[in-house]
Chains A and B, each alone.
Chain A
Amino acid sequence: MNVHEGTVRRPAATRRAGRLAVAGVAVIALAACGGGTEAGGGDGEDDGGTVTLQFIHPEVAGSFDPLIEAYEASHPGVRIEATNVPFDQLQSTLQSRLSQGDSSIDVYTVDPSRIPGIVAREQLLDISDLMDQAEEATIPSSLEPNVVDGKLWSLPIWTSEQYLYYNPTLLEQAGITPPSKDPAQRWTWEQVVEAARQAQAAGAEHGLLIEQINRYYQLQPLAESLGGGPGLSGDDLLTPDLTNDGWVRAMTWFRDIHESGVAPRGIAPDQMGPLFAAGKAAFYVGGPWVIPGWKAENAAFGIAPHPYFADGEPATPTDSWSWGISPHSEHVEEAKEFLEWAALTTEGSLATIEKIFIPPTNAEAFDEYMGRLDASVPGVTEGAGDLMLHELENTAVHRPPSLGYIQFEEMMVNVFEDIRNGSDPEERLSKAEEELESAFSRLR
């Protein structure tokens, strides 16, 4: 080592390490810059000028392959890349990406009841220029939840209704005459529970399975049937109203069917359908989307109208996904054209249900679906279309279009689970009101 006044010469190894360190810093710095470049490169435009639209949805992978193939065939300049995010992670994924201005989402599925909250968060593009076409092409009342402050924010793709399914073998074993498809002879919840008990006594493992057992979509009609309303009141629907007589009675019934073992505890929504198909339950309340799967499995089932409480009114769940456009999309025109084709044309709308058996909101496609529904399982589903139409026109209850719906729905999942597990309904509903009051104070 040579030491001179004020000069330090480092050994070769040190110099090499120093260069490596500099290189390391440079790599990190470049990586940081590269993030921007990559994002910039992700503008969805291929070298050949083809635009790629990113579409996020919660269905099984491949569900929209027929739609995408048909669309790409008729729109050569556009490619659709569909990404499926499981239902339980969908909201958090979208919230996380959209709140950060992620431009790599163009079209995404929206739960219509959440639209006011999503609009307030500025995560949907105003598509009011499609309002007239949408009114003309869709079935009545399906557009309503997509309109906030007079503006159209998304297009309804599907709607829904629920049936009471029964297992004819288990009912016969218990000596029970199955319920009729006629809405005028609709069974009450009390009748269902009584028959379920008898079926269990005759060997059925479970009496009653409710498909989306902890979700507001499915359970709101219980309280609505007893006059409890949606659980939110006031002009702005920001006043919790869960301790009224209707809600307390409905939730007491809900607690009791689990306490008595008629309905099982600890089973997740996605396990309910397979359990019924395996012949483990006498009754199942759920949507029409289960029919193709059950048919493929040769499951024994019959269809009847959704039940109601003996001293109440019939009330049934409805609505389904809408599709909207991210305000951060760099391909708004192409996205709008895709949305318009999928929701407002008969061809596009039918392509959305090629692999998922759910009623479309496009009026002409809906008529076609009714025919398919009736013919889907000979000897079982005849008349199911008319029943669905009857329910949509007479008993369907929309979820409340409240700015606080997102908080409300998230909280109600816990409320339903707790009551299902044995919490005192009145106390739990009262606690939920208190928590909602607090949460809603952030919105006022």
Chain B
Amino acid sequence: MSGPVSMSDTRTSTIPAGTSAGERRGRTRRAAGPARPKRIRSRQLATALLYLSPALLAIVFLRLAPAVSAVVASFQESGLTGGSGWAGLENYRFLFGDPGFVNTIVVTVLFNLVVNPATVVLSLGLALLLSQRLPAAGLWRALVFAPAAVPVAVSGVIWSVVYQPDGLANGLLTALGLPEQPFLTSAGQAPPSVMVTVLWVAVGYWMIFLIAGLQDIPRTYYEAAQIDGASAWQRFRYVTLPLLRRPLAFVLVANTVGNFLIFAPIQILTNGGPEGATNLIMYDIYQQAYRIGDVNLAQAEVVLLMLVMLVVVGVQFRLLGSKEGR
């Protein structure tokens, strides 16, 4: 509760009235002296650690321990022939000499090079559109967001029905007098077909974050720009984009991480085919670990995936953060 400012509120002393002389001495010493006594600091540290411990334990046991375990296992012999000894770099050497894995890397990188920018651009476009004063804007937002509320596996099943040779997509094409398409059975069409499924799920989800970011930009900036004669494009370029940098960075990084880990749509729609055209790395890891049973090779792939993701995310942070620092 705030009341009118009294004379006593204007005093410069930080020591409240009624404080004992001892306390005052102590506080004065702290203000003038170098640091708090060691015992106090260590007690505070212990308290902080205690509060943090559930989260720290979760990080250690659910994140770090599996990661360390993956690294260790990736240097061990394949269990395919019953071996369990140290293999050094053998699993990695095998992976880079394996044409199937090289194809997986190429496919994964190409997929991400297309799908990540597409997700951000479409999410931003929709966020800009649905931030306008449109009739029933809330309904449109809900409709665009709806696919994100559906489990990814269910989305995969829905799209597998759409892409069936006699499914909805070919039905529409036929109705329009166009030839039927081999959406999931052609090496050329399967990757874009999977991308459409991924975008259908992701765009509405990331759009919500960008709408929130847009709503945080003060209207006064737009009004000032308008008074200065800035066009709509200039307002977007010089007001919206710079002030949306943080939400955009978050969307790009989180979306990239998510897309490197895509699994369910691949398993449901294509099983990595045709001709390995959609064999993304997470699906390959699953194949190696659970279909073939070569867990150590799968762990080597996991380690490589972690490294690639660290690099990609680091570069993205750097690119998006560099201008902000200037």
Contact = CB atoms under 8 A, between A and B. Distances in A.
Nearest to A438: B98
A377 interface: no
Tell me whether chain A's interface is mostly helix, strand or loop, or mixed.
Answer: helix
Contacts of B78: 442
Interface stretch (B148-156, B229-237, B245-253, B269-277): B269-277
Interface in B5-27: 22-23, 26-27
B218 interface: no
Given A10-B47, A417-B273, A443-B81, A92 B286 contact: yes
A414 B276 contact: yes
Interface in A398-418: 403, 406-407, 410, 413-414, 417-418
Interface string A1-25: 0111110101000100110011011
Interface in B39-64: 39-40, 43-44, 47, 50-51, 53-54, 57-58, 61
Contacts of A17: 51
Nearest to B47: A18
Contacts of B39: 6
A265 interface: yes
B294 A265 contact: no
Contacts, number: 125
A22 B50 contact: yes
Contacts of B23: 2-3
B144 interface: no
Contacts of B292: 406-407, 410, 439
Interface stretch (B117-125, B179-187, B254-262, B308-316): B179-187
B110 interface: no
Which bucket holds chain A's interface residue count?
Answer: 35 or more
Nearest to A258: B185
A266 interface: yes
A438 B99 contact: yes
Interface residues of B, number: 50
B291 to A, nearest CB: 5
Nearest to B185: A421
Interface in B185-244: 185-187
B204 to A, nearest CB: 28
A267 B54 CA distance: 49
B37 A5 contact: yes
Contact of B185 (A265, A413, A438): A265
B293 A438 contact: no
Contacts of A3: 23, 26-27
A245 interface: no
Contacts of A117: 80, 293
B51 A406 contact: no
A17 B94 CA distance: 52
A269 to B, nearest CB: 13
B43 A8 contact: yes
B164 A25 contact: no
A99 B286 CA distance: 14
B275 A121 contact: no
Given A32-B61, A418-B273, A92 B99 contact: no
A442 B87 CA distance: 12
Interface in A133-160: none
Given A6-B39, A25-B54, A418-B275, A443 B100 contact: no
Given A5-B37, A121-B293, A414 B44 contact: no
A443 to B, nearest CB: 6
Nearest to A123: B293
B290 interface: yes
B37 A18 contact: no
A21 B51 contact: yes
A422 interface: yes
Contacts of A407: 292
B82 A122 contact: yes
Contacts of A99: 79, 293, 295
Given A21-B51, A421-B185, A443-B80, A6 B291 contact: no
Given A423-B274, A438-B100, A265 B290 contact: no
Contact of B291 (A10, A14, A95): A95
Contacts of B273: 414, 417-418, 421
B27 to A, nearest CB: 7
A18 B82 contact: no
Contacts of B34: none
A435 interface: yes
B94 A442 contact: yes
Given A8-B44, A266-B185, A21 B276 contact: no
A24 B54 contact: yes
B171 interface: no
Contact of A25 (B57, B274, B290): B57
18 contacts: A5-B37, A6-B37, A17-B51, A24-B53, A24-B54, A25-B54, A91-B291, A92-B290, A95-B289, A99-B293, A403-B81, A407-B292, A410-B291, A418-B273, A418-B274, A423-B274, A423-B275, A438-B99
Given A24-B54, A28-B57, 16 more contacts: A8-B43, A22-B50, A25-B50, A265-B182, A413-B271, A414-B271, A414-B272, A421-B273, A423-B274, A431-B99, A434-B99, A438-B94, A438-B100, A441-B94, A442-B297, A443-B81
Interface of B: 22-23, 26-27, 37, 39-40, 43-44, 47, 50-51, 53-54, 57-58, 61, 78-82, 94, 97-100, 164-165, 182, 184-187, 271-276, 286-287, 289-295, 297
Nearest 3 A/B pairs, CB to CB: A92-B290, A266-B165, A421-B185
